[in-house]
Amino acid sequence: MNIQLSVMRMGILVILAANWSSAFSQIDRSAYRDSTIDEVIAEHSLRVGSSETAGKDTALIAPEYKYRLRLRATGRIRKLTPDMMDAVSAWSRTNPDLPAFLKEYTQEIEVVVEDKSVWLIWQRSLVAPFRAERSRGGYIDVYAILAGVFHGNLLLFATAFESVG
């Protein structure tokens, strides 16, 4: 009986994993370049930070830069803040294909980079798998599109993630 129960549980996990990975399987992983947040900021000369000058900076970039980033998630999720809703709206005007794509971005997840909190803009379809896998935090590989900086905050739109370890 324990074997049957184990087999049934394993089958359920396989089905759930297949459903959760559907968003991940829709992207071309080879289009995402391995990097770090610091390297992305330096490569594009982005002014990110909390100083008076940096806090007002906005530099939006057309959706052509894709990165795979290894980050430590805290497990915290929140709805888009008003400022991030404004950022999504502003970025949507940089490419005619973006408005439909961006309708799926409704959440933010928190990651920590060198003891600093960074919020990534997260697809609705990734929220349930993230909660199931990383609600307590941990390392993730995030596949993200760089959108630039809005009011000094780095804009990264996650298209997929994988738990690490």
pLDDT tens for each residue of 20-34: 343 444 678 889 999
- The pLDDT value recorded for residue 6 is 45
Condensed to tens digits (0 to 9), the pLDDT of residues 95-115 reads: 888 888 899 999 999 999 888
What six digits make up the tokens of 15? 């089905």
Separation CA 61–CA 94 (nearest Å): 8
Q: Report residue 125's pLDDT band, with 50, 70 and 90 as the boundaries.
A: very high
Compute the chain's Rg from CA coordinates.
17
Structural domain boundaries enclosing 20: 2-163
Average pLDDT over residues 70-80: 95
User: How many independent structural domains does the chain possess?
Assistant: 1
Note whether 109 and 120 are within 8 A (CB). Answer: yes
| pLDDT over threshold 50, residue 67 | yes
Average pLDDT over residues 44-71: 81
Look up residue 20 and give its amino acid: W
- The pLDDT value recorded for residue 54 is 47
Q: What is the CATH number of the domain that holds 14?
A: 2.40.50
Average pLDDT over residues 82-90: 93
- The pLDDT value recorded for residue 1 is 52
